[in-house]
Structure 1
Amino acid sequence: MTNDAGPAKPNVLQYIGYCYGKRLPNSMRQWVADDLAGPGATRRMMLRMVVPAVLILTPFWIVPMSLYLHLSTTVPILIPFIFFSHALNKVWRRHMLRKHGLDTSLVDYRNRQRDAHIHDAYAEKYGPRSGPPSSSAV
């Protein structure tokens, strides 16, 4: 990867924009790759999606009512945010990698490293897999 002149990490405004879909300069491509495919990437992406939901739901807690009513008005709205942020996590991370001109298979890099011994044991026992490379990457 080429490293253009410029900072290697985003400032606060760039980071906020990046969290919600803005493209960062090419000088930050390594940081983007580490952020989207490195350790804790799933957790970071889920937090980024839950924060706006919490900010929107916070005013419900200002209205005076019982804890039961507070929970019953906010939790049913918050749960789908959590589920969808988990379900669409890899999709969003692949989209952001593509947007920054990076290889989308980086999303699965850590899983492939972790499961390499399983694939090697399979290849030793049954021989190499046939078919396109993507069929065995899951």
Structure 2
Amino acid sequence: MTNRSRSARSRPTPFQWLGYAFGRRLPDSMQDWVRNDLIGDWAVPRHLVRSMVPFIPVFAAFFLFPGPVWLRGSMVLLGVFLALFYSVAYMAQNRSRRLEKHGLPPDLENPKARRRHDAERAAYSRAHPRA
């Protein structure tokens, strides 16, 4: 791979993706990939997976605690549930911040979701006209 093709990548390498999962900025050549990652059709599952990556060392450390395996596994499961809860709770803010960090408008939305939202708003306006 030449230097030119390395700098013009459209997808991150595994190490770049790992840095991205921890909050690092990707090169400008990957803005389309970032846009799709954050507002594409599968953005929510990707967000959940990406948000669990920084917690892997914590979950691994729970297995080093003394006690029966079921207790250590329960600690990991509780940690996963708690991390998922906060990940879902702050998903919109996280997406906005990542979009902004990569030079994209922070209010970008999935085009399909935007069309559905606009259709629902229009249907509501037709059903409940202002007096």
Partner of 1:61: 63
Distance 1:45 1:114 in 2: 21
| Alpha-carbon separation, structure 1, partners of 2:105 and 2:83 | 27
Q: SS at the partner of 1:104? A: coil
Partners of 2:52 and 2:23 in 1: how far apart?
15
Equivalent residues of 1:37, 1:110 under 8 A apart: no
Shift of 1:92: 0.7
Verify the 8 A CA contact 2:31 2:102 in the aligned structure 1: yes
Structure 1 residue 32: Cα displacement: 0.8
Greater RCO (CA < 8 Å, at least 6 residues apart): 1
Give the alignment's TM-score, normalised by structure 2. Answer: 0.77
Q: CA deviation at 1:88?
A: 0.8
Residues 1-138 of structure 1 correspond to what in structure 2 (within 5 A)? 6-61=8-63, 65-107=67-109, 109-127=111-129
8 Å contact kept, 1:94–1:107:
no
Q: Is the 8 A contact 1:93 1:107 kept in 2?
A: no
| Structure 2 unaligned spans of 5+ | 1-6
Asked if the contact 2:21/2:54 (under 8 Å) is kept, the reply is: no
Counterpart Cα distance in 2 of 1:12 and 1:35: 15
What is the alpha-carbon distance in structure 1 between the residues aligned to residue 12 and residue 74 of structure 2? 38
TM-score (norm 1): 0.74
Unmatched 5+ stretches in structure 1: 129-138
Read off the aligned partner of 1:68 and give its amino acid letter: W
